[in-house]
């Protein structure tokens, strides 16, 4: 499938690489995002990368639509390489118990032990395919085949903030309390969205990679306090 340009009304254009979740499409999206940024076109308000597409929201009275279309077609040819902007993150998580109420059920459903579920999840280097749904909410993937479960039959009315959850091929951490139908495996002390940080309010960006690392309850409490008092710089969560 060749990349194509789709009209999202008169104020946005979508450059679409494909119609499915595929790391190869996502890599092209990120390369196109960087190539478009290099063109420094005036009149663009937002550039939104997703699993498979890049959408540019623009003011059509300031930026000529044909100029933007040409820019996007050019950007679509950018070689997919590891984006210079991508960061690798190592996110501590306390698994199971009250923080991960679905861990036991996930272990049962997959026929593995709880330890095996945690180990498999933490062994995966997950790609940030998309930030969406809520401010700072990362769609991470892809999980090992055997760990892919359908969503809960009855979604929870309130998933606690900072919950690590999985569904299908994807994992996510909820930056805010929200309704949700994913399986809750644990909780992180890391703040995923900070309105006080205007330059980089969301910790993760599309194209970054994330690994989870298990911690105990005491360590969780210690880190949560440090985060709450801003005694920890978010760069601490970058993989060394």
The site for another protein (CB under 8 A) is made up of: 6-12, 14, 16, 19-21, 45-53, 55, 57, 60-61, 65, 130-137, 139, 176, 178, 193, 195, 198, 201-202, 205-206
Q: 100 or 136: whose CB is closer to another protein?
A: 136
For 235, counting Cβ atoms within 10 Å of its Cβ (0-12 exposed, 13-18 middle, 19+ buried), the class is exposed
CB of 105 to another protein, least distance (A): 25
Q: How far is the C-alpha of 29 from the C-alpha of 76, rounded, in Å?
A: 8
CB of 29 to another protein, least distance (A): 10
Q: How far is the C-alpha of 48 from the C-alpha of 44, rounded, in Å?
A: 11
φ, ψ of residue 186 in degrees (nearest 5): -175, -170
CB of 216 to another protein, least distance (A): 30
Q: 101 or 168: whose CB is closer to another protein?
A: 168
Q: 97 or 150: whose CB is closer to another protein?
A: 150
CB of 201 to another protein, least distance (A): 6
CB of 7 to another protein, least distance (A): 5
The answer for residues whose C-beta is within 8 angstroms of residue 231's C-beta and 6 or more apart is 225
Q: 37 or 105: whose CB is closer to another protein?
A: 37
φ, ψ of residue 182 in degrees (nearest 5): -90, 165
Cis peptide before 171 (omega within 30 of 0): no
Chain-centre distance for alpha carbon 74: 26
φ, ψ of residue 175 in degrees (nearest 5): -75, -20
Using DSSP's 3-state secondary structure scheme, residue 72 falls into helix
Q: 30 or 103: whose CB is closer to another protein?
A: 30
């Amino acid at each position: 499938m060749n990349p194509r340009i789709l009209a999202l009304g008169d104020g946005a254009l979508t450059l679409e690489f494909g119609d499915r979740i595929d790391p190869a499409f996502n890599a092209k999206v990120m390369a196109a995002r960087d190539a478009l940024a290099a063109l420094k076109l005036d009149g663009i308000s937002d550039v939104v990368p997703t699993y498979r597409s890049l959408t540019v929201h623009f003011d059509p009275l300031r930026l000529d639509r044909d100029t933007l279309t040409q820019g996007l077609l050019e950007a679509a040819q950018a070689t997919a390489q590891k984006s210079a902007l991508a960061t690798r993150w190592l996110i501590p998580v306390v698994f199971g118990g009250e923080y991960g109420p679905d861990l036991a059920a996930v272990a049962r459903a997959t026929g593995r032990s709880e330890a095996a579920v945690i180990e498999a999840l933490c062994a995966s280097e997950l790609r940030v395919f998309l930030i969406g749904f809520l401010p700072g909410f990362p769609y991470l993937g892809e999980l090992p085949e055997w760990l892919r479960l359908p969503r809960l039959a009855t979604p929870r009315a309130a998933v606690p903030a900072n919950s690590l959850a999985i569904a299908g091929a994807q994992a996510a951490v909820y930056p805010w309390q929200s309704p949700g139908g994913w399986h809750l495996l644990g909780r992180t002390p890391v703040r995923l969205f900070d309105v006080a940080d205007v330059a980089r309010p969301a910790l993760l960006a599309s194209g970054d990679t994330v690994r989870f690392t298990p911690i105990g309850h005491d360590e969780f409490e210690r880190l949560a306090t440090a985060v709450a008092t801003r005694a920890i710089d978010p760069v601490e969560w970058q993989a060394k």
